[in-house]
Structure 1
Amino acid sequence: MKPSFFRTSITVFLLISTMLMASFKLMSSQKSEPMLDDLRNFQVNTADMVSSGLPTRVHFETLKANGVRNVIDLLPDDRSEEIKLMNALGLKYHNVAVEWKNPTLENFEEYVATMKSFEATGGITLTHCKLNWRGAVFTYLYRVTQLNEPEAIAKKDLDAIWQPDETWQDFIDEVKAKYMSEASE
């Protein structure tokens, strides 16, 4: 790949991301719209992907009004209330139950399959968990392994949310080793 193409691709990506983030900031600052400022660790990852901590109903309504059509919930346990809310709001929903102390390659593979399914139907996909720590890792890994986004850009977003502990760093290394070795075959 030519260096100028690479620079142009990064510039276009950054421009689109900045515009999307500005749209969300503008929307959240308007008095007539519910605010997203209190949505913990809200982050625009790509033009079609956002992540956050646990949203409230008002957050989900605001996100839907701004193009979110799909939700991936990474929390384990009973998610029946969120399922009811997603049905009421008309949002597509999928739960990947990721145990905090035991994220698995199978969890990530389920996430990838769900993201690809949602991408095929369009709209922005929200990935969320309690604090966006799981979400930040999963969106980072998806961007690097599936979207072939430059590591530095995706890692910057992950680092802005949290520094993975040993369990999560081992998970990141395992996923990257699997998908990066597949890419080189």
Structure 2
Amino acid sequence: MSNPELAEIRAFLSLSDKIGTAGQPSVEQFVAIKAAGYATVVNLALPTSTNALPNEAEIVTSYGMEYIHIPVDWEKPQVEDALNFFEVMAANHDKKVFVHCAANMRVSAFMFLYRTLCQNVAPEAALQDLQQIWTPAPQWQAFIEQVTTQYRRKNSLKNII
């Protein structure tokens, strides 16, 4: 997707026809997000994150989009946050979803996990997209490994029961 207005959003990356990711959009950029056909906005940033909009939920819903906030602590991401994110993405699989945080770093790690664990995207392909944004810091590498292990363990138990 080559939408110049979306490309102006910090670290914007289109992963598919239905999933766009970025850093924190401005109020005006939510107009472009709506115009691009996104129906749902998922925010993984904390309310205290850089450039966070205190009234983002109201802004997004005023444009007719659904707003979902899963605040993820940059220093201590939790496995539960990733599992909640997977559920949100699965529930919205038929919609265009725009996922953002402050700089698209949290999001790129969460999308790597979602794509490899839930969508069966090859890890090499998902890693290329992740690395377009950043190379995860050690605590995030550990988080990715922890989520992967727990998700696989949980799903293998489901198959046994």
In the superposition, the TM-score normalised over structure 2's length comes to 0.88
Instruction: Sort the Cα spacing of 1:183 and 1:47 in 2 relative to 1 into closer, same or farther, 3 A.
Output: farther
Q: Secondary structure at the match of 2:92?
A: helix
Q: Within the alignment, does 1:177 sit opposite 2:149 as a pair?
A: yes
Give the corresponding residue for 2:36: 66
Residue 60 of structure 2 aligns to which amino acid in structure 1? M
Residue 65 of structure 1 aligns to which amino acid in structure 2? A
Give the corresponding residue for 1:82: 56
Structure 1 residue runs of 5 or longer lacking an equivalent are 1-20, 29-34
What is the aligned-residue RMSD (CA, Å)? 1.6
Specify which structure has the higher proportion of helix: 1
Q: Secondary structure at the match of 2:15?
A: strand
Q: Mapping of 1:1-185 within 5 angstroms?
A: 21=1, 25=2, 27-28=3-4, 35-77=5-47, 80-119=54-93, 122-183=94-155
Residue 100 of structure 2 aligns to which amino acid in structure 1? H
For the residues of structure 2 that align with 1:154 and 1:180, how far apart are their CA atoms? 18
Q: Secondary structure at the match of 1:68?
A: coil
The count of residues paired between Structure 1 and Structure 2 equals 153
Stretch deviating more after TM superposition (41-50 or 127-136): 41-50
Answer 1 or 2: higher relative contact order, Cα 8 Å, separation at least 6: 2
Q: Secondary structure at the match of 1:94?
A: strand
Give the greater-gyration-radius structure (CA): 1
Check the 8 A contact 2:42/2:100 in 1, yes or no: yes
Stretch deviating more after TM superposition (150-159 or 44-53): 44-53
Residue 101 of structure 1 aligns to which amino acid in structure 2? E
Stretch deviating more after TM superposition (50-59 or 155-164): 50-59
**Cα shift readout 1:17-48 (whole Å, capped 9, x = no counterpart):** xxxx2xxx2x31xxxxxx23321110011221
Q: Runs of 4+ in structure 1 displaced over 6 angstroms?
A: none
**Cα shift readout 1:129-185 (whole Å, capped 9, x = no counterpart):** 010000100111100011011111110000110011111000000011122344555
In the superposition, the TM-score normalised over structure 1's length comes to 0.77
Residue 143 of structure 1 aligns to which amino acid in structure 2? R
**What is the deviation of 1:58?**
2.3
Structure 2 residue runs of 5 or longer lacking an equivalent are none
Q: Secondary structure at the match of 1:138?
A: helix
